[in-house]
Amino acid sequence: MKSFFEVHIWPKRSKLYRLVYLWVRDRSLAEDMLQNVFEKSFNREGELQNHPNLMGWLVRSLKNEVLMYLRQNKVLDSLEGLEDLKWDDSAKDETKESVNKVMCLLKTLPSKQQEIFQLREVEGLSYEEIATYLELSLEQVKVNLHRARKTIKEHMLSQKMTK
């Protein structure tokens, strides 16, 4: 018989890894952080069996790992390095430029908007999933996503106008 960890937590590893990788942009660091969260969840297995929002707990624990790392290493910008991402050669230059601009603009947004934008636009999560993971109301998710999109759109349009 499989343990609670094997049935309910381990299958979420891919999604959690992608999320932490978005935050830290370092494969080995993301793996280490995910391993720390898995270790904590394994040790608290009995307590987590009755948790009403298991995925929310996992995301929050992962986020706390990232924040602790950023504080300890005095890294203020968790999205640092996004403009240096490697792109597939088949991608068009215009697309690369636009995506780089959006990623740079994303850094200027408040952290809550950055996080929600990433979960929705990069991870493709539903509004309901984001609300559950971040323990926010559905309305807060929609408002923050709208503000993020609006700010990015305004900046992109203003850059086109100045060209």
Q: What DSSP character marks residue 16? A: H
Q: Is the pLDDT of residue 33 over 50?
A: yes
Q: Looking at 43-52, 58-67, 72-81, 141-150, which range is the least confident one?
A: 72-81
Enumerate domains of the chain plus CATH numbers.
4-72 (1.10.1740), 82-162 (1.10.10.10)
Q: What angle do CA 80, 82, 83 make, to 5 degrees?
A: 110
* 21 confidence band (pLDDT: 50, 70, 90): confident
Spell out the alpha helix ranges (H) of 107-137: 111-117, 127-134
pTM above 0.85, yes or no: no
Q: Is the pLDDT of residue 31 over 50?
A: yes
pLDDT of amino acid 82: 42
Question: Distances from the Cα of 126 to the Cαs of 15, 35, 45, 81, 121, in angstroms?
Answer: 14, 26, 27, 26, 10
pLDDT, one tens digit per residue, over 57-114 is 898 898 888 888 877 876 644 444 444 444 444 444 555 666 677 777 878 888 889 8
C-alpha 55/C-alpha 61 separation (Å) is: 10
pLDDT of amino acid 41: 92
Q: Is the pLDDT of residue 45 over 80?
A: yes
For 15-41, what is the mean pLDDT? 88
Q: 52-65 burial string, b = 16+ CB within 10 Å, else e?
A: eebbbbbbebbbeb
Greater pLDDT, 130 or 122: 130
pLDDT of amino acid 75: 60
pLDDT of amino acid 96: 60
C-alpha 43/C-alpha 48 separation (Å) is: 10
